[in-house]
Structure 1
Amino acid sequence: MYSSFELAREAWSVCCIDGMVQSEELLERSLARIAARIPVAADAASGPQRLHRLFRWREEEVGERRRPKFLRLVRPHRGQVHFLHFWHAFCQASRFVAGTAENLWAGGLLGEFDVLRDELMAIARRADAERGDGPQVAAQHIVDALTRVRLCSTDPEFWRAIERSATATAAADYGLEA
């Protein structure tokens, strides 16, 4: 079974060749190809209907509510969508289509990547609320988030290596002390 990251990255690649940010317009034009990558279990009778509910335009609605729910889940900011928001929305959509509130990829490193993603998104939202210039994450906040994930990890050495690399990158790129 693929991880949430692998499936989301594959779906992201249909509209974004490279990079962490994509235009909302291009994402909108790629909805059918993105929807095709949401896993639908063969035994989930309501899965296809749920998938349709997430990706269809609502002609009966007005304003923002007309847009497909998935486009609202990706939290566009100034016409741009960040991969972390896309990944989170993709996971939410997958759980909705499967008819479960549980993480389909829970456990081990796969679940830990989801925890890291969600923590970085929360940090970015708080920073945007404080400054109002868009979601951004300082290098030291990334290192701190990696440390927190490592302390609760099933494989702390994996995260320790990433943490060291992020610390070195932060020090080189931003002049932070390692």
Structure 2
Amino acid sequence: MPPEPRGGLPGPVVALLGLILAGCTEPASRLRIESHRAGEAPVVLSENFERCYYGRDARGNVEIVLRSARPSTLDVDAELVQLVWARTFWRPVPGTTYAERTQTNATIGYALLDAGRGISYEGAGFVFFSEQPDGRIKGQIETATLAPGRASGDAPELFGQCLVSGDFIAERSEGEVKAALSELRRSLGRPPRYRPGDPLRELR
């Protein structure tokens, strides 16, 4: 169910939020987004992702991308694309690695791209996953704290600072990971330099 319209948001933004939440299926990859706009009560949203892939870079770090697309309300020839990406720098192994939910082991971002405009929310969080017999990985984004990052066009700022969490199952495909990250760079430019441990503002 779409969130209740908020007084501070114009009609097109409320419509966009409703489109983000369209669909009620239960896929393998589903994320929860908790919005914290200044001066407003938190709002919890959820999104299903039809495509989820992972790959490994030359250093063995794991990159994960989740992608969802549906027709844009702004342009009949365009799509509203949602992308989530995570790059892990170490992986907790049960029984051998001490890890708490408050720790971070990944840079994480969430972007909405729609008809030539887009906005990203970027930061860090904790990602846990395990390899499956069929070659996929199954895991969770347990905690991620994100803040508004890159933007293009006249994209509205929707969420303020936000918390992201949820479950995913990803197939291995370095090609799909590269394609998704290239799509992101084409729309929003290169990402800022960031590594886990860099300070983030706390949510109020």
TM-score calculated relative to the size of structure 1: 0.24
Q: Which has the higher helix share?
A: 1
Q: Which structure shows the bigger proportion of residues in strand conformation?
A: 2
Of structures 1 and 2, the one scoring higher in RCO (CA 8 A, sep 6+) is: 2
| Larger Rg over CA atoms | 1
